Amino acid sequence: MDPGGAVVLVTGAGSGIGRATAYLLAARGAHVVAVGRDAAALRDVAEATGGTAVQADLRDPAEAERSVRAAREARGRLDGVVANAGIGHAGPVADMTAEQVARLVDVNVRGTLLLGRAAAAAFGEQAAAGDHRARGLVFVTSIAGAVGVPGESVYSATKAAVESFAVVLREELRPGGVTVATVLPGVVDTPFFDRRGVPYDRTFPRPVPPERVARAVVAALESGRARTVVPRWLAVPAWLSAAVPGPYRALARRFS
């Protein structure tokens, strides 16, 4: 899809990757519908981009559909969706409360799948009405969903679930000309680690700026490329984890 003149909904748009993506899309000529929980941050993004702010908490099952509806009402249609909202958690799974597990699943999996469902329905309705312009979905997941990170087992599982969903949804929506892509960031310099309650204290790999991930997200919308890992070298451990999981896990234990 061409961002120029497109209407693109971005979740988690109040900060980090979502905000960087909103700014970049606006610079490419898109009308951004910024979705998130922080009303003040969303207003700032909407003012800076000339877009639309929609306050929503995707833990509520009704909010995904409401957000898509608000985007269509704002500009008359919807051309793209960047499903970026997500939360993290670090620590032994045995120490997690049931509520913490449910919260990760509600936001990272259920909210994301419901957003994909609502977007697919909207795209289908627009195509049935004769609007056949190119459209796209991008799910921002995580390298943790590809390799699994000890101490972040539930978070890793939620991101792996979205990766699996995207693979099947891609084939389901392909006949209608809708592309479905995933972007798997590694460590990104955002408030994510502050919010999860455990800072990132490793010297390697070094965090990348959110603008770098935003460029990959916009490129995925433009090209429809199925899967992009940021930074690219992390595609190697992702491939090894899938191809030779035993040796990969032994190496990971050795060098982690």
Residue 209 sits in a domain whose CATH number is 3.40.50.720
Whether 23 is catalytic is no
Is 2 inside a domain boundary?
no
170 vs 256 pLDDT, higher one? 170
Among candidate residues 23, 155, 200, 248, the one labeled active-site is 155
Token match 């704002």: residue? 74
| Token code pair at residue 176 | 């209608």
Residue 249 pLDDT grade (very low, low, confident, very high; cuts 50, 70, 90): confident
Is 31 inside a domain boundary?
yes
Is 1 inside a domain boundary?
no
| Token code pair at residue 234 | 């992390």
Q: How much of the chain, in percent, has pLDDT values that exceed 90?
A: 83
Residue 193's region, left for phi above 0, alpha for psi from -120 to 50, else beta, is alpha
**pLDDT for residue 256:** 60
Domain residues for the domain of 136 are 7-255
Q: How many domains is the chain partitioned into structurally?
A: 1
Give the whole-angstrom CA distance, residue 14 versus residue 44. 8
| Token code pair at residue 45 | 């993004």
Is 67 inside a domain boundary?
yes
195 vs 163 pLDDT, higher one? 163
Is 28 inside a domain boundary?
yes
pLDDT digits (tens, 9 = 90+) for 76-94: 999 999 999 999 999 999 9
Give the whole-angstrom CA distance, residue 217 versus residue 28. 13
Is 18 inside a domain boundary?
yes
Give the whole-angstrom CA distance, residue 166 versus residue 195. 26
Residue 255 pLDDT grade (very low, low, confident, very high; cuts 50, 70, 90): low
Q: Residue 202 pLDDT > 90, yes or no? A: no
Q: Residue 163 pLDDT > 70, yes or no? A: yes
Q: How many helices (H) and strands (E) does the chain have?
A: 11, 7
- What are φ and ψ of residue 137, in 5° steps? -125, 135
Average pLDDT, the chain: 94
Is 161 inside a domain boundary?
yes
Is 88 inside a domain boundary?
yes
The mean pLDDT value for 47-69 works out to 97
Of 245, 223, 225, which is closest to residue 184 (Cα–Cα)? 225
Of 113, 114, 89, which is closest to residue 162 (Cα–Cα)? 113
